[in-house]
Homo-oligomer: A and B are copies of this chain.
């Protein structure tokens, strides 16, 4: 049997999800954790969860932290959270680990430093790894941000390891991005290559007690100055030391300043842009999921599929054969 969207949302487990949502709205962290896991492993759960939380969205301010491996992002996030907690803000942390597509073994050594935060009831920490994230890591991260937002977090901090496309995608689901660099030779050039200059709203040179921090700062300012993105206003460039918290107050100040400025106008636009991307993503994986059903249930699809896999035909010819009227089902449209 080929399931339709409506049938899918009526699968067993809906009742379980509803129970979790009840607990969630009562402020139970265990329900938040369970819902994130549910959605990570089965994106279809969002068909029930998102409509339920939609009206509670939009209050949390979401900050991404990215930069090359070894830049000390975990320690820095740790320090930032401590200061936000002094202001009694509720904080969610998402640590993203793009791990092996095969073994899935997340190496969370860096995260040990965050241990003390685990004991604070105003802080909720979550690791996300590639494995088990159906529909992709940035999709799962986006859904986790939404759940934390609806749960009542004032801030959601997202930390990624590395600077690949997945990390860039994830950073585009946050409200602002803090790019964390270290005073070392090729670092700024590598960061430029990876597109970090294009997504950063605040730039931090961490481990600033190391030699070369000042010249790195000067170099970075020149690079940013040349970037048309910052023609109207230069982004903050800050020196910090994640290990002892030096300069982190300045970073928190810069974050709060950007938050106020964005909330006045630009944030609405940024969030609209993200909603566009999200809509298309949801469409894509929902379709993928229907496709998998068809592949099990439909002899014609099975046959064309086998032709393609064996190399006897190409995917384009096969799809034309399967969907002569187009892939999207337009029956539901009001024309």
Contact = CB atoms under 8 A, between A and B. Distances in A.
Given A107-B192, A332-B323, A198 B164 contact: no
Contact of A167 (B164, B317, B323, B327): B164
B198 A320 contact: no
Contacts of A322: 332-333
A298 B5 contact: no
Nearest to A321: B332
A315 B282 contact: yes
A107 B196 CA distance: 13
Nearest to A102: B198
Interface in A117-142: 130, 137
Given A5-B320, A288-B284, A331 B327 contact: no
A100 interface: yes
Interface residues of A, number: 95
Contacts of A86: none
A13 interface: no
A282 B47 CA distance: 25
Interface in A282-319: 282-284, 286-288, 290-291, 294, 298-301, 305, 308-311, 313-319
Contacts of A333: 294, 298, 300-301, 322
A250 interface: no
Contacts of A311: 54, 57-58, 271, 275
Contacts of A101: 168, 172, 195, 198-199
A164 B136 CA distance: 13
A309 B272 contact: yes
Contact of A98 (B172, B194, B313): B194
A300 B333 CA distance: 6
Interface in A78-96: none
Given A167-B164, A329-B328, A100 B282 contact: no
A41 to B, nearest CB: 17
Contact of A193 (B4, B107, B283, B330): B107
Given A326-B290, A329-B323, A333-B301, A162 B280 contact: no
23 contacts: A2-B326, A2-B330, A57-B311, A69-B190, A98-B165, A102-B195, A102-B229, A103-B198, A103-B227, A107-B193, A164-B166, A164-B167, A275-B309, A279-B305, A282-B315, A282-B316, A284-B284, A284-B288, A286-B319, A287-B327, A325-B329, A328-B328, A329-B330
Interface of A: 2-6, 9, 46-47, 50-51, 54, 57-58, 69-70, 97-103, 107, 130, 137, 161-168, 172, 186, 189-190, 192-195, 197-199, 227-229, 271-272, 275-276, 278-280, 282-284, 286-288, 290-291, 294, 298-301, 305, 308-311, 313-335
Q: Which 5 A-B pairs have the closest CB atoms?
A: A164-B164, A165-B166, A100-B195, A282-B315, A300-B334
